[in-house]
Amino acid sequence: MTEFSSLLSEVRRCTICASALPQEPRPVVQAHPEAKILIAGQAPGRKVHNSGVPFDDASGKRLREWLGLTREEFYDPQKVAILPMGFCFPGTGKTGDLAPRKECAPAWRSKILAHLKQIELTIVLGSYAQKYHLDDTNASVTQLVKSWRSLWPNIVPLPHPSPRNNIWLKKNPWFEIELLPTLRLRIAESLKENNS
């Protein structure tokens, strides 16, 4: 077993926040040292917790459409690493899922990222991941997404693909007109290089 596969096994057995979770811990992560694309997300929802498959829900369907990826490409860890801020379902609050548990990122994130040396593009979904990965923690999701060209071509901030963000998408038509076609081309180039 390689050092990285040992690390992933350790992550998948993690119970550091078990007492604070609504269900048994079930860390959901996808990664491989050869991955070219990193998706930094929030935390698994209830459906993902039940299946153990990242983005196995309506958000994932929309995200794959945004990125122009097939299910096969998206779920190939040698192409795409999926590393949420919290690896387990944190529970549900009044307006949706709770924030990712704060124990997870400090315990595991830097250890996993240290092995992902082939990453060419990091897609940063939503406020929790953006606060971690981007310097401007005072900027709103909208401000960060609008500034995508300043981070191009290595980092792209996106809103969370949740159906709860339909209103945001209607208010920001430039997102689907300007950003997404450019992002799809960037991803296709990166995966083409990966296959050559």
For the chain, the structural domain boundaries read 3-195
CB proximity list for 97: less than 8 A, separation 6 or greater: 42, 43, 45, 46, 89, 90, 91
pLDDT in tens, the chain (196 residues): 699 999 999 999 999 999 999 999 999 999 999 999 999 999 999 999 999 999 999 999 999 999 999 999 999 999 999 999 999 999 998 888 899 999 999 999 999 999 999 999 999 999 999 999 997 668 999 999 999 999 999 999 999 999 989 999 999 999 999 999 999 999 999 998 656 5
Tokens encoding 194: 């990966």
CATH of domain 3-195: 3.40.470.10
Q: What is the 3-state secondary structure (H, E, C) of 99-149?
A: CCCCCHHHHHHHHHHCCCCCCCEEEEEHHHHHHHHCCCCCCCHHHHHHCHH
What's the pTM? 0.94
